[in-house]
């Protein structure tokens, strides 16, 4: 057990608490102290919940000492993306529109974290309404990358990724509509998982793209991500898109290795234009390592993958245009008065929404408008079907697929903020799995020439979480990486 509790992963902390070597209160206090010391430089949290976190931790300690039942993650800290409703606690989605919104209920994922006795430390920063790839679009400030504070942590779940990568919490919750878990996980050197669409309830998740959104775990190890996945997955009758069958368990597959598995390398992603040399090299080395571990590695094609990104950027904004119409200044959230109802709504949305949200609402409204629906939205849905068919064909001959998670490592703050197309290209390898509804994850496979983390994407068929975790765990064990973000600690020392 390390002297600094924030250096331990969730499994180590859990074992130490169960053995009486430490307490849930001590673990929570250590992480809250680190947040106080370093989050001024990082900007991962919008708010911490010190009192409720310590009260929950104390209750876990009491029940554990008394021999009473505790949850599967009892006492393990978690950072929660501020897009999931928390009863009585502000849920802003990184937007002025919801700056003072305090939900009257908890999201299902929040309920399941409580049932597992995970200790929620606070709500993390994000791109406004999950629209962005850098966490620069938040109305409440920029989050920075713990490996280089002049670079972005990715987005939209950048706050949770930075919190986990920066040792503010061993576990984090993000959401992934078009790569918003996997891309920041890759940038921050952690594991990030997008489960099969419908495996994790969306009840209480403030919707962006309802046919794409999925809640998922972020962690510093594959085993920790698997444990968090199992805690939050499962059917929820309050979510009409929830899969009714039991979710496939992940942890039993972690020690199976990859010998005998057939793993397809998406060659157009690995060798594609725009992939940085450091990303290509680390991912190619990871593929070679999988082959050395006994996997049958083959090249596969996803013929329509190059159409996935433009299709996504029609489907997602169209759904956002519909979902965000509820923010009208009448029912909840910001209200800016005007002489007429129409002027009040217009003033409310003009002041409440940021530039990127407005951009996507306008794109989506245009794509859904009379005369353009068939030419844009309907065509994008046809492309989505082709992407789904590509994946089905690939999985007919392969157990899992791999590719780079992102074309590049973390880029500089402000570098792409004025170039939306360049920003959107960060998601080029991630969005196909969202369109297909299939699981995918990113795990760190080393660093580029500047020492910035590189993520490998592991993809699997519908409900293929076990084999996805199996491949990731075997590769992680073989690599034996220990990525440490010194930049954050150096900055904290300078501030002190």
* Closest CA relative to residue 357, chosen from 126, 121, 192: 126
User: Exactly one of 156, 160, 221, 408 is catalytic; which is it?
Assistant: 156
> Are the CB atoms for 424 and 431 separated by under 8 Å?
no
Residues 126 and 43 sit within 8 Å (Cβ to Cβ): no
**Phi and psi at residue 238, to the nearest 5°:** -80, -10
Closest CA to 400 of 306, 475, 323, 313: 475
Residue 81 catalytic? Answer: yes
Whether the bond between 156 and the residue before it is cis, its omega within 30 degrees of 0, is yes
Give me the residue label for tokens 């190890």.
221
CB atoms within 10 A of CB 289: 17
Active-site option among 81, 123, 194, 307: 81
C-alpha 409/C-alpha 187 separation (Å) is 6
Q: CB–CB of 192/441 below 8 Å?
A: yes
Q: Which residues lie below 8 Å from residue 420, measured CB to CB, with a gap of 6+?
A: 356, 359
Q: Residue 86: beta bridge partners? A: 89
* Distant-in-sequence, close-in-space partners of 184: CB < 8 Å, separation ≥ 6: 135, 153, 154, 155, 156, 157, 158, 160, 161, 162, 174, 192, 218
List helix spans (H) across 293-397: 308-323, 341-352, 355-368, 379-395
**Known catalytic residue at 382:** no
The Cα diameter of the chain in Å comes to 71
Q: Which residue among the candidates 95, 133, 157, 180 is catalytic per the annotation?
A: 180
> What's the alpha-carbon Rg for the chain, to the nearest Å?
21
Q: Is 403 a catalytic residue?
A: no
Q: Which of 67, 28, 317 is nearest to 168 (CA)?
A: 28
Cβ atoms of 189 and 167 closer than 8 Å: no
Which positions are annotated as active-site residues? 81, 156, 180
């Amino acid at each position: 057990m390390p002297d600094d509790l924030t250096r331990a992963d969730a499994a180590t902390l859990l074992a130490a608490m169960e053995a009486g070597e430490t307490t849930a209160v001590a673990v929570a206090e250590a992480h809250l102290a680190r947040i106080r010391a370093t989050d001024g430089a990082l900007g991962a949290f919008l708010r911490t919940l010190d009192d409720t976190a310590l009260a929950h931790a104390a209750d876990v300690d009491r029940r554990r000492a008394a021999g009473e039942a505790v949850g599967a993650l009892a006492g393990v800290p978690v950072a929660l993306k501020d897009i999931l409703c928390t009863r009585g606690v502000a849920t802003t989605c990184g937007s002025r529109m919801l700056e003072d919104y305090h939900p009257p209920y908890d999201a299902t994922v929040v309920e399941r974290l409580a049932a597992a006795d995970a200790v929620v430390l606070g709500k993390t920063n994000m791109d406004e309404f999950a629209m962005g790839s850098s966490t620069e679009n938040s109305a409440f400030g920029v989050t920075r990358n713990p490996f280089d504070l002049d670079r972005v942590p990715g987005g939209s779940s950048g706050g949770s990724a930075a919190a986990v990568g920066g040792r503010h919490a061993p576990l984090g919750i993000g959401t992934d509509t078009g790569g918003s878990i996997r891309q920041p996980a890759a940038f921050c050197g952690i594991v990030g998982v997008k489960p099969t669409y419908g495996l994790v309830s969306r009840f209480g998740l403030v919707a962006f793209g309802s046919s794409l959104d999925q809640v998922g775990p972020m962690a510093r190890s594959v085993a920790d991500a698997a444990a968090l996945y199992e805690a939050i997955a499962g059917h929820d009758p309050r979510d009409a898109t929830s899969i009714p069958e039991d979710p496939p368990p992940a942890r039993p597959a972690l020690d199976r290795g990859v010998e005998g598995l057939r793993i397809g390398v998406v060659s157009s992603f690995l060798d594609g234009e725009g992939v940085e040399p450091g990303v290509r090299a680390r991912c190619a080395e990871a593929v070679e390592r999988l082959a050395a571990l006994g996997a049958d590695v083959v090249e596969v094609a996803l013929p329509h993958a190059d159409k996935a990104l433009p299709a996504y950027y029609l489907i997602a904004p169209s759904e956002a245009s519909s979902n965000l119409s509820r923010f009208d200044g009448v029912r909840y959230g910001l209200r800016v008065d005007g002489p007429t109802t129409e002027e009040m709504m217009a003033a409310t949305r003009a002041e409440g929404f940021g530039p990127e949200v407005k951009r996507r609402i306008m794109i989506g409204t245009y794509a859904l408008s009379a005369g353009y629906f068939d030419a844009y939205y309907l065509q994008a849905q046809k492309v989505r079907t082709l992407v789904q068919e590509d994946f089905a064909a690939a999985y007919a001959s392969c157990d899992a697929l791999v590719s780079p998670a992102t074309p590049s490592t973390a880029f500089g703050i402000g570098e792409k903020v004025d170039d939306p197309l360049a920003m959107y290209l960060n998601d080029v390898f991630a969005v196909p799995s969202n369109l297909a509804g299939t699981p995918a994850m990113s795990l760190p496979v080393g660093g580029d020439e500047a020492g910035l983390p590189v993520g490998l994407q592991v993809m699997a068929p519908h409900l293929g979480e076990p084999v996805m975790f199996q491949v990731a765990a075997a590769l992680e064990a073989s690599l034996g990486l220990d990525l440490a973000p010194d930049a954050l600690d150096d900055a904290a020392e300078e501030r002190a």
